[in-house]
Amino acid sequence: MNNINHFFLYCAGVHEETLKKYPQEHNKYVAIGATIFFTGLFASLSGGYAMYFVFSGTYLDWLLAIVFGIIWGLMIFNMDRYIVLSINKSKTGGFQFLQALPRILLAILIGIVISRPLELKIFDKEIRENLKTTYIANERAKIDSLNIIFNKKYTFDLTQLKSLTTERDSLDARIKADRQKLNFEIFGNKTTETSGVVGYGPYAKRKELELEKSTVYLDSLRSSIIAKERLILDKQKAEGILNQKGLSNASLDSAVNLAGFADRNSALGNLKFKANGQVDEATANAVTFIGLLFIFLECLPVFVKLLSGRDAYDKAIYNQRIIDEYESDAYTVTEKAAIDHLKDASIDISINKRLKKMNEEIFGINLLICLST
């Protein structure tokens, strides 16, 4: 077997010395090992992609994403390897399924976790467009909200400006009409309000005087409007309304590039709905089935192990486990018997040690008495 086969057998967790006795089983366990390996590889790619957005904008963000992606992939690889190794093929199929059920549920949970970042990459173009739409809508809503607050706060000034503007427009229209009537009077055009006599008569003089007064008042209205507009403009600057601008294409692209994992995940969820709020079944089904595909890939090592029949290698491992357990039990029994057999001798040895210690203490006491006398 070449190095790749050795590696995949390691991934499958087999005992190669035992497997060498059954060469017909090599391909099956190489396939199981390859399944475990590629599941861990997908997990590593998914974790690295997710962590890239977590650390995006920080120093060496790509290096941190690679490191955490490798750690995540190794953790999933080790967990899948343990799940496959822990399935006891010596039991019945139903028992094996019950034994593997918690591991299947765990694999489903892991599959959901690792599938999401990969889905984000698959639908990256659609997510970017959705984020742009969302950012533009949020910016417009922010501007509208500020305008509403400003209008409520400065209702009096805005009402005055509107009243002055209405009066100016009305007066301007009336001056234009009166000027036309004056021209009709001077040039002799007969109407209900003109005499029809050519010349600059008393009516024309009176009309011209009224026009001059109206024009002066119109100029004062325009000056008042300009002053009021400047006042409102200054207040808008103070309130920060003029600082709110629509997002340009460059700023939108920059905002999308800086979008975090949560924003992208929310945008992926929004892809399932159309602009009118109805469900987009095509996109929703695509997202769902891609997620199910990765969940199935995560569960695949367990399914492969469950679907594989009990072979000669499984029996050999089972028999060896029985021998090892029996040998361990026999060793324990032997050691217990030896301890029981040596119990009496141990008691005698302990008694002799205590007597020797007691005699030494008595001798010491007698010696002290002799020296004192």
pLDDT in tens, 159-184: 888 888 888 888 888 888 877 776 76
The residues near 137 (Cβ < 8 Å, ≥ 6 apart) are none
pLDDT of 246 above 70: no
pLDDT of 347 above 80: no
C-alpha gyration radius of the chain: 46
DSSP string, 338-353: HHHHTHHHHHHHHHHH
Among 43-47, 290-294, 350-354, 369-373, the range scoring the smallest mean pLDDT is 369-373
Among 54-63, 192-201, 210-219, 263-272, the range scoring the smallest mean pLDDT is 192-201
DSSP tag of 200: -
Mean pLDDT, residues 345-350 taken together: 76
Burial per residue of 108-117, b for 16 or more beta-carbon CB atoms within 10 angstroms, e otherwise? eebbebbbbb
pLDDT of 241 above 70: no
Quote the pLDDT of residue 187.
62
The token pair that represents 320 in the structure block: 């060896």
* 19-24, Cβ contacts within 8 angstroms, sequence gap of 24 or more: 19/313, 21/312, 21/316, 22/311, 22/312, 22/313, 22/316, 24/312
Beta bridge partners of 273: 279
pLDDT in tens, 283-341: 788 888 888 887 887 777 777 777 776 778 778 877 888 888 888 888 888 888 877 77
Quote the pLDDT of residue 130.
81
Percent of the chain with pLDDT over 90: 1
- Residue for token digits 């020296």? 371
The Cα-based distances of 277 to 125, 130, 274 in angstroms read 21, 14, 5
pLDDT of 192 above 70: no
Quote the pLDDT of residue 194.
58
Determine whether 222 is exposed, middle or buried from the number of CB atoms within 10 Å of its CB (0-12, 13-18, 19+): middle
Range among 42-56, 203-217, 235-249, 319-333 rated most confident: 319-333
Mean pLDDT, the chain, rounded, equals 78
